[in-house]
Structure 1
Amino acid sequence: MATKATTDAQFSSDVLESGKPVLVDFWAEWCGPCKMIAPALEELAEELGDQVQIIKLDIDENPDAPTKYGVRGIPTMILFKNGQPAATQVGAMPKSGIKKWLEAQL
């Protein structure tokens, strides 16, 4: 399962109403570190797809969700469980770091 893009309009159905945990990657086209972690997130979506869904949200096109969840810097990854933010990771990190952080939360 690959990563999926969402919008403010779809955020509730894609993330909050999901039957399994969802990792939301808040990113922007101009953000270098966001582009750096994108391949790692794609790989993790394949590896952990049965446990967690990884969804990307472009903060420039969708300002509501980042504002609602207090996203100040990007990349910010927020893991949602049962419609609630369960864990937050700000800043880029290597794939191994993201995976370790994610698995500790699942």
Structure 2
Amino acid sequence: MAQTQTKLAFRCPGCGGVNRLDPGRLAHGPKCGRCSTPLDTSGAPLDLDDAELERLVRSSPVPVLVDLWAPWCGPCRMVAPIVDQVARAHAGRLITVKIDTDQHPRTMAQLGARGIPAFALYRGGALFAQRSGAMPRPELETWVRSALA
């Protein structure tokens, strides 16, 4: 039986720290415990660079979904709203990150991804699963839920 998670996690846009919150605090405009910056609790995907992603993966108490994409990639643009919907649906239980592979190619190289869009799921600071290619929302949801279980 899956353990019930009582705290949600959100990355601070100011200092990059990961904040754990009780769900009841979401309505009260939560701020970062380190720098007092207001937290974005929408779950919207974060645009990070390779180094910021590495720090997040190491410190996140919840799984991290990584979307490797590029602005010129048609399938990436097609799947972007699906990634956004899934990210927002799992706000606080999943942190979603978008990595522009043109600007930040290291993560793509480390994962051995040969094409985009490509996705990686990290859990407990380690790579949990990865996939290549655009997915319809039900398939992406099922794949993400495997890391949340």
Which TM-score applies when normalising by structure 1? 0.92
RMSD between aligned alpha carbons? 1.1
Please say if 1:84 is aligned against 2:126: yes
**Structure 1 stretches (4+) deviating beyond 4 angstroms?**
none
CA-to-aligned-CA distance 1:41-69 (integer Å, 9 cap, x gap): 11111111132111000011001111111
2:87 maps to a residue whose letter is A
CA distance in 1, matches of 2:54, 2:146: 25
Contact 1:29-1:58 within 8 A present in 2 as well: yes
Contact 1:20-1:52 within 8 A present in 2 as well: yes
Which TM-score applies when normalising by structure 2? 0.67
1:15 maps to a residue whose letter is V
CA distance in 1, matches of 2:75, 2:46: 19
Identical aligned residues as a percent? 37
The equivalent residue for 1:31 is: 73
Matches within 5 A, 1:1-106: 1-106=43-148
Unmatched 5+ residue regions in structure 2? 1-42
CA distance in 1, matches of 2:143, 2:93: 14
Q: Which has the higher contact order (CA 8 A, sep 6+)?
A: 1
- Number of residue equivalences: 106
CA distance in 1, matches of 2:124, 2:136: 27
Unmatched 5+ residue regions in structure 1? none
Contact 2:57-2:125 within 8 A present in 1 as well: yes
More helix by share: 1
Which structure's CA Rg is the greater one? 2
2:141 maps to a residue whose letter is K
Look up the SS of the partner of 1:19 in the other structure.
coil
CA distance in 2, matches of 1:35, 1:46: 17
Contact 2:57-2:126 within 8 A present in 1 as well: no
Contact 1:27-1:59 within 8 A present in 2 as well: yes
Q: CA deviation at 1:71?
A: 1.3
